[in-house]
Amino acid sequence: MSVGAFDQIFIHLKQWLLSPLAGRVPGWLLQIVSSLLNIAVLLGVFLTLFALMSVLERKILGRMQNRYGPNRVGPFGLFQPVADGIKMLIKEDIVPVSADKVVHFLAPILVAATAILALGIIPYGRNMTPFVIDGGILFFFAVGSTTELAVFMAGWGSNNKFSMLGAMRAIAQMISYELPLIIAVLPVVMIVGSLNPDRIVLAQKYYYFGFLPHWFVLTPWGATAFILFFVSGLVESNRTPFDVPEGESEIVAGHMTEYSGFKYATFFMAEYLGMFAVSGLAVTMFLGGWHPPFPFLAFIPSYVWFFAKLSVLLFTFIWVRGTLPRIRVDQMMNFAWKFMLPMAFTCVISSAVWYYTGHRLLAWFWSFAVIAVVYIVLSLFLDTRRKFTPRTYRFAE
Amino acid sequence: MNTVAFAIIAIFTLTFALAAATNPRLMHAALSFAAMFVGIAGFFFLLGAEFVGLVQIFVYVGAVAVLIVFTILLTRRETQPHHGFKWGGVIVAGAVFAGLLWAIIKTSAVSIAAPLVKALTVKQIGEVLMTQYVWPLLCVGVLLTAALIGALVLVMEDRSER
């Protein structure tokens, strides 16, 4: 078997599965069957990854905190998600009497649906984009923006003060960090000249001097935009340094307070799927998609590279969770509007400088200089330490 | 195929539009309104206007619907008592419908057999926005910035009074 055959094995498999239908049924039916097949594979892969990730996260966090983590169910505790899933399924589904039943029921479905839809546009390998859309990046963010409405529905439908407060916090931080998230993507879109994820991946296929990959993360503006994108992604998926919406020491579990059993599991799943989607887009935009880091490693199939890069980003998500404490709401908002947003705009300008000075070493220098100047100026103006005074406690004396 | 899709989307959109207009519970009406926006985006996709459809979801479901929902949340919650049937509303609605119908029939550009137009790509839209329509775009940007600053000035608390 040649290299290309392994690379395209899933494409051939799908063609083989569809071949009995071809020519016998009308074209639109074939198209629908083909799409359903894509959806089934997408769900299968990412729900498995979700199960794996949930147990790996607990294991890695355990290792970071000097304990074992789950190790009872199956070899190395690998069957823990099965046990968790059964537990969640047979739990009683409690709906509060005063809840808005319809909205309360629809909210977890909508949250999970938006996360799954966003996964549909990411190129997982050569010719392996489930749904090719010309404005794929725009689709990702359009779908992502409806999550806010779903979170609001969860908070309002529960008719509980903790739920409502949690939903408010979640929407506030999602709207605030959506801006740097989208603007951090703009430099890549500007340089490539396309909103199509496949085009963006193809633009990163070249190598400098024959070995250094042409990934956008290796340019000054790309590196800055990648960091901004990653931090905003942490916020959008409500992960730990920014998990204010579900701060359990303050508001029980935020908008998920009144959910139990499988509906709670759906929220949990949506959080992980959202994480996969944001990491997948980061891989596509900045880390060269499914391209190998060195040309001589091209014999390894493209989807292996994609999922390897995805795993690195997911590990970083867990790592950050094991390392950083939760920050306060006001700190988070200040960070978004006073630092992230100006830096994101700087990336746009820096990439324009890069584009017009002609991609050489000089371009590297000038675009780095733009970012450095803005960073230094911002850090001088945002001297938050000025306001620090001896702390007084009003209630806990 | 397209007719079937059109019928499904039309039924979906009309159902939620009716729900938005008639539901006495304000929050349900607002959420139905958001679902109706998704239906309208579906029409745009069906017509091949992908970009407009995505912007429709982005702006109307992601931003306008959230704005409406928050407006309802921050104003009083109790439902209005039913005022009974109003003939004035029927006359206004009929007039608007007749006007729209007249405009649609009079317009010659829209015919049943639509001419084959090559689907606009996002790139083309971007190029036109940045060359031919760059002044309107800049004017809109300035206007929105002014509105943003104005809103901030309105809600900003006066520090000297405290």
Does A100 sit within 8 Å of B31, measured CB to CB? Answer: no
Q: Is residue A7 part of a domain?
A: no
Please name every residue paired with A208 in a beta bridge, in sequence order, or none if there are none.
Answer: A212
Contacts for A156 with CB less than 8 Å, ≥ 6 apart? A100, A103, A163, A164, A167, B27, B69, B73
CA gap A84, A87 in Å, rounded: 5
Is B57 touching A (CB cutoff 8 A)? yes
Q: Is residue A213 part of a domain?
A: yes
Instruction: Give the range of the structural domain holding residue A215, as residue numbers without chain letter.
Output: 86-381
To the nearest whole Å, the CA of B86 is away from the closest chain A CA by: 30
Domains identified in chain A, total number: 1
pLDDT of A93? 82
Does A149 sit within 8 Å of B34, measured CB to CB? Answer: yes
Contacts for A17 with CB less than 8 Å, ≥ 6 apart? A37
| Both structure tokens of B80 | 């209005």
Burial class (CB in 10 A: 0-12, 13-18, 19+), B29: middle
Q: What is the CA radius of gyration of chain B?
A: 21
pLDDT of A1? 42
Q: Is residue A46 part of a domain?
A: no
CB A245 within 8 A of CB A166: yes
DSSP letter, residue A74:
S
CA gap A337, A169 in Å, rounded: 16
To the nearest whole Å, the CA of A120 is away from the closest chain B CA by: 15
Q: Residue B54 carries which side chain, given as an amino acid letter?
A: L
Please name the member of A103, A133, A145 whose beta carbon is closest to the beta carbon of B31. Answer: A103
Question: Phi and psi for A243 in degrees, rounded to 5?
Answer: -90, 40
Interface test with B, best of A29, A100, A131, A138 (most B CBs within 10 A): A138
Q: Is residue A387 part of a domain?
A: no
Q: Is residue A72 part of a domain?
A: no
Q: Is residue A81 part of a domain?
A: no
**CA-angle at A195, arms to A116 and A234, nearest 5°:** 50
| Both structure tokens of B24 | 């006495």
Residue range A220-263, pLDDT digits in tens:
888 899 999 999 988 888 877 887 777 777 777 778 888 888 88
pLDDT of B22? 84
pLDDT of A135? 80
Q: Is residue A105 part of a domain?
A: yes
Confidence of residue B144 (pLDDT cuts 50, 70, 90): very high
Residue of B nearest to A149 (CA): B66
Does B54 sit within 8 Å of A149, measured CB to CB? Answer: no
pLDDT of B138? 92
Q: Is residue A152 part of a domain?
A: yes
pLDDT of B23? 80
pLDDT of A210? 67
To the nearest whole Å, the CA of A90 is away from the closest chain B CA by: 31
Burial class (CB in 10 A: 0-12, 13-18, 19+), B46: middle
pTM of the model: 0.83
Does B50 sit within 8 Å of A135, measured CB to CB? Answer: yes
CA gap B62, B72 in Å, rounded: 16
Can you give the pLDDT of all 397 residues of chain A as single tens digits?
455 667 777 777 877 877 777 777 777 788 888 888 888 888 898 988 998 888 888 888 888 888 888 888 878 778 888 888 888 888 888 888 887 888 888 888 988 898 888 888 888 888 788 888 888 888 898 888 888 888 888 888 888 888 888 888 888 888 888 889 999 998 998 888 888 888 888 888 877 776 777 788 888 888 899 999 999 988 888 877 887 777 777 777 778 888 888 888 888 888 899 899 999 999 998 888 888 887 777 777 888 888 889 999 999 988 988 888 888 787 888 888 888 888 999 989 988 888 888 767 788 888 888 888 888 888 887 765 556 666 666 665 4
Question: Phi and psi for A394 in degrees, rounded to 5?
Answer: -85, -35
Q: Dihedral through CA A285, CA A273, CA A232, CA B55, nearest 10?
A: 70
Please name the member of A28, A139, A148 whose beta carbon is closest to the beta carbon of B62. Answer: A148
- ipTM here: 0.74
CA gap A144, A277 in Å, rounded: 10
Is B136 touching A (CB cutoff 8 A)? no
Residue range B70-123, pLDDT digits in tens:
888 887 666 566 666 778 888 999 999 999 999 888 876 655 555 555 666 777
